A and B are shown apart, each in its own frame.
Chain A
Amino acid sequence: MTDLNKVMVEKYRNDFLKEVEANVEEGNWVKMCMQCGVCSGSCPLGPHWEHPPQEIFMMIRAGKRDEVLRSESMWMCTSCYNCIVRCPRELPITHIMHGLANYAHRLGIAPKLNPTRRFAKMFWNNITAGGRVNELKLSVGLYFMDGFASGIKKGLEMLPVGLGMLKTGRLNPFGLFSGGHCKGAGDIRKMIKKAKEIEDKRKGFAA
């Protein structure tokens, strides 16, 4: 158990709902779900989730802390916003899904090998390094995420798309070498660092 996770377990004991309300983005909405299932039915990826949003909300109320936080489910959300648009109770479901994923990640109990989590991390590192996304680096990184051989294979599959993007000037071929950073990237990094400090303090993660 990571230290932070231990702290949180201790702090909220059996009340996972309270924990979610205090620490997860938009978590105070969870209690408002009326279990209609519209979100799960609307989600284009719904059938592939182990626990679709409706169920996640029920599990939170039922205090199933580990099952929820260690689950791959909320990492499935693609931010399509279908569920938000349709939820009769107007829950910001997408945001809660990301909030839960983020919280699990912060606690260090999110599934290590989850591809979304790995991509998100890669994206974060990429964008915070230069203040803007370096697309070539990001896609190369993504292709080679699972090793060299599969990276080459995926790269070849995507070749026509890549060439098309090159032709239309959508991809900078030198991006791999040049930094491509924006002006004052260092300042952005400082700002992000400060923001994180403030958030950690507010949420009690600083411990």
Chain B
Amino acid sequence: MADTKIGAYICKGCGIGERLDTAQLAMIAQKEGKAQVVREHEFLCNSQGVEMIKNDIANEGVNHVVIAACSRRSKAETFNFDNVAISRANLREGVIWITPADDDKKEIVQEMAADYVRMGCAESLKMQIPAGNPSHGNNKRILVVGGGVSGMTAAIEASKTGYDVLLVEKTGSLGGWAAKLHKRVPNTEPYANPMDTGVADLIKKIESDKHIKVHLNSTITKTSGAPGQFSADISTESGGTATENIGAIIMASGFTPYDMNKLPHLGAGKSKDVVDQLGLEALAKAANGGPIKRPSDGKIVSSVVFVQCAGQRSDKEGELPYCSGHCCNTSIKQAMYFKDQNKDIDTVVMYTDLRTPGNGEDFYRSAQKKGVIFTKGVASEVVPGSELQVKFQDKILNEDAIAKADLVVLATGQVANSGVDIEQVPQDEPGKWAANKQSVLNMVYRQGKDLPLLKHGFNDSHFICFPYETRRTGIYTAGPVRRPMDMVQAIEDATGAALKAIQAVENASLGRAAHPRSGDLSFPTFRREGCTQCKRCTVECPFGAIDEDEQRYPQFNESRCRRCGTCMGACPVRVISFENYSVDTVGSQIKGVDMPDQFSEKPRILVLACENDAYPALDMAAMNHIQYSAFTRVIPVRCLGSINTIWVTDALNSGYDGVILMGCQKGENYQCHFVKGSEIAHTRMSKIDDTLKQLSLEVERVKTYEVAITDIQRAPALINEMAETIQKIGMSPLKF
């Protein structure tokens, strides 16, 4: 590659020219920043400005561009040039918008801007132009595991978009639980009556689609590889195994109904006339529009009670703590099976909160019109007998009461078919993988055979922010294995997951990262000679991207990597780096700051801010002209997890008076875009006190915060708090 030639461009627009001495900045870029081409421009983002940069790239050999203008979050498209390394010095949001325009502040504001120019150039010097993952795969076929409604929909959607699909189903037929339903909850206007399940149509579509290959009676006995280059062993019940190559995987392994026999107090297992919702579907299917008969003696049912939330939303041991989301609508539908056949049948739905997602409210109203009675109450006991007695607490009338019925239906919940819990089950030694019957995917990843669980046994990485994304790149979940849901949601899910899988294979084929740094061409590499085989990177990578090779060295799977840099932050010997993001690119920025001496009364505060939430929060604070200390120097990081403690130690050693780390919310309700990054950083930083003590520094000088993107008041306040702290405890003695 050609030698580095830095072009630094200083914008005078947006008030930068009025507030700052840009000529001085240009000088700094040239003298200290080693920029060979330096230009000021009235409005760098206009077509002339951009043309000017393009021209320098084409004709002057500029291959590293430093834009000293607005925040990197602004004009990202405008200042995007192919095959050059780009860094941004944030003079607008980072300097002039967060400082007062007073004359007596001019000096420190100019110093702030000058430092950002130094930092931009220093970063640029250490950057390399990312070339894209060289060992990427090109396979674009999609494997769908599970032949229920979710799986079938995902297969059809992917095929419609032009991708080949392999559909693997464990049982002998497609359709899953939906095929066992008499009818389904309506999904079209007027949302008033149960309707045909549509499963037969789906199956027909699959069977007539030549881009979808179906394997029945089959399971996955081995999964290895990475997006664009997965390999899966598909084994049939009879013992045959076929190895197939695919680009991405959609896991739609669905749910198992909660075992109602765990609810004997509600009569399950004690009376044949107590059934779960699927039990009722079987009865309705058998009746086929005629009167529904009860199992014990075949008597035509004349009264039925539906007990909602049976064994769900419960804090009792062995019961489900969550709501399965579909069961209220399902009971409403089932009550209609009775009412539509004979309006004189007494149907009572006993609920604590009727939850009818989607257009269920209309459906609920329709049931009320049909005369279904809804009673707000909690069933405590079902007494078996020829007439069942449901003892319950009426929550409105606040009294104990009894409802009598021929048949009782328990609305039990969904349990995810998520395979083995990799945190509970010990994993095989690398290289000694054996298929496990309980596992869905039988992955040969070092981190475990199945996908990490999020909550309550469901596979996802964030229910709201990143649905379908699991913590294994290129493998997506859809349907009730991801979170409890009904058919409408499962269909939406499957469509979403299919799209994700398509994005994954397309990004992989270009050697680029997938969500959330979609399109990123950089990837982590490590210097083998320096590695001590400590395994921290392998263990801490939130996405299981790093395996171990035969010699027990980390083996990076670039296509699985999300480019968070957590491995880079973890490595004690600092041998992991990206081309454009490394211990050096950030380290040189930290050291690039001009450090005033101890008696100058000009402290320096280093803020390492996560680029996903904290940095935007500071940008937005700037847009609202909320001010913070002009002694601050902010460096965006990919994720708090990428922070190597050496940066903090170096900063303190080189005289910074305070260091603030700002990352996303961690823990159970995390908002970290890389799931574990913020948490890992907090753990690492909990040990920083020892370092501070060794340096004879006050522990208040380093703070780690969880900052949300909405914290536009708080983030600047935290910085100002640090400035006050420094005023109290004094300047760092380590300046030289």
Contacts and interface: CB of A to CB of B under 8 A. Distances in A.
Interface of A: 17, 31-32, 34-35, 54-55, 58-59, 61-62, 64, 89
Contact of B374 (A34, A59, A64): A34
Contacts of A64: 397
A207 B397 CA distance: 34
15 contacts: A31-B368, A31-B373, A32-B365, A32-B368, A32-B369, A34-B364, A35-B374, A35-B376, A54-B396, A55-B396, A55-B397, A58-B376, A58-B394, A58-B396, A58-B397
Nearest to A32: B368
A113 to B, nearest CB: 25
A61 B375 contact: yes
Contact of B354 (A32, A34, A58): A34
A48 B354 CA distance: 28
A110 B364 CA distance: 34
B373 A61 contact: yes
A62 B397 contact: yes
Interface string B378-405: 0000000000000000101100010000
B365, B368, B401, most chain A CB atoms within 10 A: B368
A62 B375 contact: yes
A58, A59, A61, most chain B CB atoms within 10 A: A58
Nearest to B356: A34
B435 to A, nearest CB: 51
A42 to B, nearest CB: 17
Interface residues of B, number: 14
Contacts of B396: 35, 54-55, 58
**Chain B: interface secondary structure?**
mixed
Interface string B353-371: 0100000000011001101
Contacts of A34: 354, 364, 368, 374
Contacts of A32: 365, 368-369
Nearest to B346: A15
A55 B369 CA distance: 19
Given A34-B354, A34-B374, A62 B369 contact: no
Contacts of A35: 374, 376, 396
Nearest to A67: B397
A165 B63 CA distance: 94
A62 B374 CA distance: 10
A128 to B, nearest CB: 37
Contacts of A31: 368-369, 371, 373
A59 B401 CA distance: 12
A159 to B, nearest CB: 46
Given A31-B373, A34-B354, A35-B374, A62 B368 contact: no
Contact of A62 (B354, B365, B394): B394
A34 B375 CA distance: 9
B166 to A, nearest CB: 46
Interface string B397-415: 1000100000000000000
Contacts of B397: 55, 58-59, 62, 64
B79 to A, nearest CB: 51
Contacts of B375: 58, 61-62
A62 B401 contact: yes
Those 5 A-B pairs whose CB atoms lie nearest each other, nearest first: A58-B396, A32-B368, A31-B368, A35-B376, A61-B373
A32 B367 CA distance: 9
A17, A32, A35, A54, most chain B CB atoms within 10 A: A35
Interface in B454-489: none
B354, B368, B375, B396, most chain A CB atoms within 10 A: B396
Contacts of B365: 32, 89
Contacts of A54: 396
A31 B396 CA distance: 15
A64 B375 CA distance: 14
Interface string B533-553: 000000000000000000000
B368 to A, nearest CB: 5
A65 B368 CA distance: 20
A59 B375 CA distance: 10
B351 to A, nearest CB: 9
Contacts of B368: 31-32, 34
Interface in B323-359: 354
Contacts of B369: 31-32
B448 to A, nearest CB: 46
Contacts of A61: 373, 375
Interface string B136-152: 00000000000000000
B352 to A, nearest CB: 11
A191 B497 CA distance: 71
A198 B306 CA distance: 42
A17 B371 CA distance: 10
A61 B365 CA distance: 16
Contacts of B354: 34
